[in-house]
Amino acid sequence: MKTKDNLHPLMREIIAPWAPLTYADHYYVDLGYRYERGQVSEHEYKMALAEGPEARRLMQSGAMEAMRSAY
């Protein structure tokens, strides 16, 4: 079975929303969640944003979860 790491880049992009999360993916989701709650420094957040579009997508998903759980 192919994992997320050894797939063709196009396939990785296509299955990204449904692929199982890696440890690094969980970090970005958690970082987005904690940033929305005010528990992360601005520096750590901006460093993670610079990691690229996949990191930003995962952080946005964590932020959305924080907003949903707030209400």
Whether the CB-CB separation of 33 and 65 falls below 8 Å is answered with yes
Does the residue 38 lie in any domain?
A: yes
| Tens of pLDDT, residue by residue, the chain (71 residues) | 445 567 777 777 777 667 677 888 889 999 999 999 999 999 999 999 999 998 999 899 898 888 887 66
Name the pTM for this structure: 0.68
Does the residue 5 lie in any domain?
A: no
pLDDT at 70: 67
- The total of structural domains in the chain comes to 1
Identify the domain containing residue 54 by its residue range: 20-70
First to last CA, the chain: 40
Does the residue 58 lie in any domain?
A: yes
Does the residue 50 lie in any domain?
A: yes
Angle subtended by helix axes 53-70 and 23-36, to nearest 10: 50
Does the residue 63 lie in any domain?
A: yes
d(Cα 41, Cα 7) in Å, to the nearest integer? 34
